[in-house]
């Protein structure tokens, strides 16, 4: 085995942790949110009127009173400095898909040889980072450096502790000097406002005089891989692309199904314990941790929170996973498909709507009125998903997710809705306009006066569905593990707002008398389910039969990112975003341009890596093995022995094929000039990626027969099973 690989394996085997999880033996409530300037700190440190004004903004969505900023800034900075903070940072989420932050010191010289604390309300509310290096899709010229961050009062500031210091992190929005969104937070906040307005309209029509603020809620389930850090650094593809571009399946993969929910290895459990501790200190309500299906794959999941806060916390989860892993000699892989041939990683997005006064709007209640409300909101979601399936599919489109979607490990690219047998039967009865006994639910009378109580979903979950109702929420299972949940939520909130707007507009025309109004509700439900029930499917989404049936129903099937982005960037998408003030046409178009640019960059990085690794690592290893076999054959021939040359012939053929594949990839890796971004994506999809796959096929076949002593790269078996 190569020296690099040997040293990596030895380092992995000999690893011993010197770090012990902090606070692991203390009761969690004693330190939960300890590093958060949350409600407890605000209540204790702010004057009552300032605190009340701030809570009103957070809970009711009223505009922020800027006069409170100086008071909040003073209290926040004192709290942070008391905890060891020396700098503050406006944290924002540019369209790179990563977090960004610019650190400024709390201290400024006073001109007399001393330092004074310098952190005002103005500095809290607004920052001015250099925006020239962030993708903008044509919104701004490269020479225009100015961008602004704006304090998001609904997401609390927190302390990020490092080895040598602590930083106060302030969640912010990021926009151009003209006010156009350059990030993921601004559209998310706008979409939450849109769905709140339309949900309130519907609720008032259903009898709620004061429904209060309606908030979209989210709970993302984060899947990830852990491999030994030494092996990670010995793989250039993992280091630069996040996934293995070469590698044969190990003799044992996940076929024994012994990983899922199995005993967590000791080093991994120590890592998980510290991750939980750090996240608890940051106020992130993580609930679940376990082994996932594939070897070396795991999951962490928080409980439901408001969509905006859940998104901020999701970034923190990914950040903490990757920052804690090295302490235990591990590398955390968030790519959707780090290893070919075994399950990839997703980020199942659990989504719902509700508020303090009305509860969860997707929770079947215990009274007929509750059921009417539930069915209206459930029908709104079904209509939204059917009408705007291309938007929902486009929200999860990126190069990494293309390796996962459509396999027997993740939902297909066809967007459908699972509702369970019981709820499907209720919908069938509404469509038919009749009544009959439902499954375990008594008699359903679809009449003019009322709807009966509905029990919660009584069916099994459908793991093959991309968008499944799970009792009191919908689970969007197509989101990629490396992806921000902001984009999918922006789409979900917007399309559901459009659907609720339609329902409210129709019901506003209905007679006010209860009996006639209830009749109008049921007729509208019947109309929606007749027109959009095609999107409901409770069967096996992996089956070829469903693909054929979906085509007959007219459901779109966009298998790749270029297809999905082309389908999404249409007039209907622009109109929906503009109508609800979520994205202007210019902002939406800029995003499609950025997503295409990112796809191009991701694929080209992989293509160049593929070529480089094949030339400098794999081909030389094959030549060395070829030389060894040739010398052995020559030595046997000199002794008058007829040595077997079958393996030599096979290696000769593979090396010839490998060399040919390298030349072919090199010939197409340069994108033709004067292509649009959309055409560039198609070129890479149709030309470059097939060449990469052809090169990998030959390289993996060579790994299969090459001497283990000569192979330069850590193998799948080593990466997945050395823990």
pLDDT tens column, 298-353: 999 999 899 999 999 999 999 999 999 999 999 999 999 999 988 899 999 999 99
- 116 vs 391 pLDDT, higher one: 391
- 120 vs 683 pLDDT, higher one: 683
Residue 630 host element (H or E): helix 619-638
Residues in the chain: 723
pLDDT over 50 (residue 439): no
Rg (CA), the chain: 28
Quote the mean pLDDT of the chain: 88
Q: How far apart are CA 74 and CA 82, in angstroms?
A: 12
Q: How far apart are CA 286 and CA 266, in angstroms?
A: 20
Q: How far apart are CA 26 and CA 31, in angstroms?
A: 8
The DSSP call for residue 130 is: B
Answer yes or no: are the C-beta atoms of 468 and 417 closer than 8 Å: yes
Q: How far apart are CA 530 and CA 429, in angstroms?
A: 11
Average pLDDT over residues 460-473: 84
Token digits of residue 484: 């921000």
Q: What is the DSSP string of 447-480?
A: -SS-----PPP-S---TT-SEEE-SSSEEETT-B
Answer yes or no: are the C-beta atoms of 41 and 77 closer than 8 Å: no
Answer yes or no: are the C-beta atoms of 223 and 345 closer than 8 Å: yes
Lowest mean pLDDT among 248-257, 423-432, 509-518, 651-660: 248-257
**Secondary structure of 348-365 in the HEC alphabet?**
EEEEEEEECCCEECCCCC
Q: Name the 3-class secondary structure at 129.
A: coil
Nearest to 465 by CA among 541, 554, 556, 549: 541
Answer yes or no: are the C-beta atoms of 389 and 555 closer than 8 Å: yes
Q: Name the 3-class secondary structure at 83.
A: coil
pLDDT over 50 (residue 366): yes
Q: Which residues pair with 102 in a beta bridge?
A: 90
Which burial class, exposed, middle or buried, applies to 49 when counting CB atoms under 10 A from its CB (0-12, 13-18, 19+)? exposed
Q: How far apart are CA 496 and CA 494, in angstroms?
A: 5
Token digits of residue 373: 């409300």
Q: Which residues pair with 349 in a beta bridge?
A: 220, 476
Confidence label for 464 from pLDDT (cuts 50, 70 and 90)? confident
Answer yes or no: are the C-beta atoms of 52 and 171 closer than 8 Å: no
- List, for residues 47-93, the tens digit of each pLDDT value: 999 999 899 888 877 787 778 889 999 999 999 999 999 999 999 99
The DSSP call for residue 19 is: -
pLDDT over 50 (residue 610): yes
Confidence label for 108 from pLDDT (cuts 50, 70 and 90)? confident
Beta strand residue intervals within 200-278, DSSP E: 215-228
Q: What's the CA dihedral at 392, 304, 426, 424 to 10 degrees? A: 50
Average pLDDT over residues 376-398: 96
Nearest to 138 by CA among 674, 594, 678: 594
Q: How far apart are CA 207 and CA 369, in angstroms?
A: 9
Confidence label for 596 from pLDDT (cuts 50, 70 and 90)? very high
Please report which residue ranges of 325-432 form alpha helices under DSSP H.
Answer: 368-387, 389-394, 399-402, 421-432
Token digits of residue 473: 């929420």
- 656 vs 437 pLDDT, higher one: 656
Q: Name the 3-class secondary structure at 444.
A: strand
Beta strand residue intervals within 16-138, DSSP E: 85-92, 100-105, 107-109, 115-117, 126-127
How large is the greatest C-alpha to C-alpha distance in the chain, in angstroms?
A: 105
pLDDT over 70 (residue 24): no
Confidence label for 254 from pLDDT (cuts 50, 70 and 90)? low
Lowest mean pLDDT among 141-145, 430-434, 459-463, 654-658: 141-145
Q: Which residues pair with 536 in a beta bridge?
A: 417
With b for 16 or more beta-carbon neighbours within 10 A and e for fewer, the 18-46 pattern comes to: eeebebeeeeeeeebbbbbbeeebbeebb
pLDDT over 90 (residue 143): no
The DSSP call for residue 366 is: S
Give the pLDDT of residue 617. 96
| Percent of residues, the chain, with pLDDT higher than 90 | 65
- 614 vs 292 pLDDT, higher one: 614
Per-range mean pLDDT, top range of 406-415, 632-641, 702-711: 702-711
- List, for residues 611-634, the tens digit of each pLDDT value: 999 999 999 999 999 999 999 888
Average pLDDT over residues 15-40: 77
Q: How far apart are CA 424 and CA 421, in angstroms?
A: 5
Average pLDDT over residues 650-672: 95
- Contacting residues for 627 by C-beta, under 8 A, at least 6 apart: none
With b for 16 or more beta-carbon neighbours within 10 A and e for fewer, the 615-647 pattern comes to: eebbbebbebbbeebeeebeeeeeeeeeeebeb
Q: Name the 3-class secondary structure at 165.
A: coil
End-to-end CA distance of the chain: 20
Tell me the helix, strand and coil percentages in the chain, rounded to 5: 50, 15, 35
Average pLDDT over residues 527-553: 93
pLDDT over 50 (residue 447): no
The DSSP call for residue 201 is: H
Answer yes or no: are the C-beta atoms of 102 and 89 closer than 8 Å: yes
- Contacting residues for 21 by C-beta, under 8 A, at least 6 apart: 270, 273, 274, 277
């Amino acid at each position: 085995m190569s020296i690099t690989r040997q040293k990596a394996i030895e380092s992995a085997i000999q690893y011993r942790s010197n770090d012990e999880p902090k606070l692991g033996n203390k009761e969690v409530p004693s330190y939960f949110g300890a590093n958060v300037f949350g409600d407890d700190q605000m209540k204790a440190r702010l004057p009552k009127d300032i605190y009340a004004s701030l809570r009103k903004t957070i809970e009711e969505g009223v505009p922020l009173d800027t006069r409170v900023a100086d008071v909040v800034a003073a209290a926040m900075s004192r709290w942070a400095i008391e905890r060891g903070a020396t700098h503050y940072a406006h944290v924002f989420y540019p369209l790179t898909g990563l977090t960004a932050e610019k650190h400024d010191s709390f201290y400024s010289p006073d001109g007399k040889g001393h330092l004074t604390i310098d952190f005002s309300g103005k500095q809290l509310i607004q920052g001015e980072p250099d925006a020239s290096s962030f993708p903008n899709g044509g919104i701004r010229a490269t020479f225009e450096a100015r961008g602004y961050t704006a304090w998001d009062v609904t997401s609390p500031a927190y302390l990020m502790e490092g080895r040598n210091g602590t930083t106060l992190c302030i969640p912010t929005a990021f926009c151009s000097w003209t006010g156009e969104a350059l990030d993921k937070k601004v559209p998310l906040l706008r979409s939450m406002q849109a769905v709140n307005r339309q949900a309130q309209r519907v609720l008032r029509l259903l009898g709620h005089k004061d429904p209060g603020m309606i908030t979209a809620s989210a709970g993302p389930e984060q899947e990830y891989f852990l491999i030994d850090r030494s092996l990670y650094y010995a793989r250039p593809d993992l280091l630069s692309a996040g996934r293995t571009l070469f590698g044969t399946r190990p003799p044992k993969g996940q076929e024994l199904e012994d990983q899922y929910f199995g005993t967590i290895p000791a080093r991994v459990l120590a890592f998980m314990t510290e991750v939980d501790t750090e996240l608890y200190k940051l106020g992130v309500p993580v609930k679940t941790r376990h082994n996932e299906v594939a070897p070396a794959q795991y999951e962490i999941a928080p409980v439901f929170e408001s969509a905006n806060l859940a998104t901020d916390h999701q970034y923190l989860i990914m950040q903490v996973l990757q920052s804690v892993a090295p302490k235990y000699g591990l590398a955390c892989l968030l790519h959707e498909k780090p290893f070919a041939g075994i399950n990839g990683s997703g980020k199942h997005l659990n989504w719902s709507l509700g508020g303090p006064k009305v509860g969860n709007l997707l929770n079947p209640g215990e009274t007929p009125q509750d059921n009417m409300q539930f069915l209206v909101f459930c029908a709104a979601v079904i209509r939204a998903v059917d009408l705007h399936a291309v938007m929902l599919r486009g929200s999860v489109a990126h190069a990494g997710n293309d390796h996962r979607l459509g396999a027997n490990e993740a939902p297909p690219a066809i967007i459908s809705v699972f509702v369970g047998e019981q709820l499907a039967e209720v919908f069938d009865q509404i469509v038919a306009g009749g009544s009959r006994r439902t499954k375990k639910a008594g008699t359903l009378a679809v009449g003019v006066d009322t709807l009966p109580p509905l029990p919660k979903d009584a069916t099994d979950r459908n793991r093959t569905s991309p968008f499944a109702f799970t009792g009191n929420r919908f689970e969007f299972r197509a989101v990629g593990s490396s992806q921000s949940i902001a984009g999918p939520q922006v789409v979900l909130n917007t399309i559901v707002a459009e659907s609720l707007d339609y329902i409210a507009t129709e019901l506003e025309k209905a007679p006010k008398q209860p009996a006639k109004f209830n009749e109008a509700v049921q007729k509208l439900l019947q109309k929606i389910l007749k027109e959009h029930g095609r999107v409901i499917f409770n069967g096996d989404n992996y089956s070829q039969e469903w693909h054929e049936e979906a085509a007959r129903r007219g459901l779109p099937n966009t298998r790749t990112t270029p297809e999905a982005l082309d389908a999404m960037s249409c007039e209907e998408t622009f109109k929906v975003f503009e109508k609800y003030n979520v994205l202007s046409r210019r902002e939406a178009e800029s995003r499609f341009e950025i997503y295409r640019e990112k796809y191009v960059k991701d694929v080209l990085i992989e293509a160049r890596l593929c070529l480089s690794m094949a030339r400098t690592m794999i081909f030389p290893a094959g030549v060395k093995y070829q030389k060894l076999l040739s010398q052995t054959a020559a030595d046997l021939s000199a002794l008058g022995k007829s040595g077997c040359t079958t393996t030599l012939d096979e290696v000769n053929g593979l090396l010839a094929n490998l060399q040919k594949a390298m030349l072919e990839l090199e010939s197409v890796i340069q994108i033709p000039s004067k292509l649009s971004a959309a055409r560039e994506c198609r070129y890479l999809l149709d030309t470059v990626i097939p060449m990469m796959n052809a090169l990998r096929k030959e390289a993996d076949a060579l790994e299969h027969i090459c001497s283990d002593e000569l192979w330069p790269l850590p193998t799948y078996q080593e990466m997945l099973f050395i823990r």
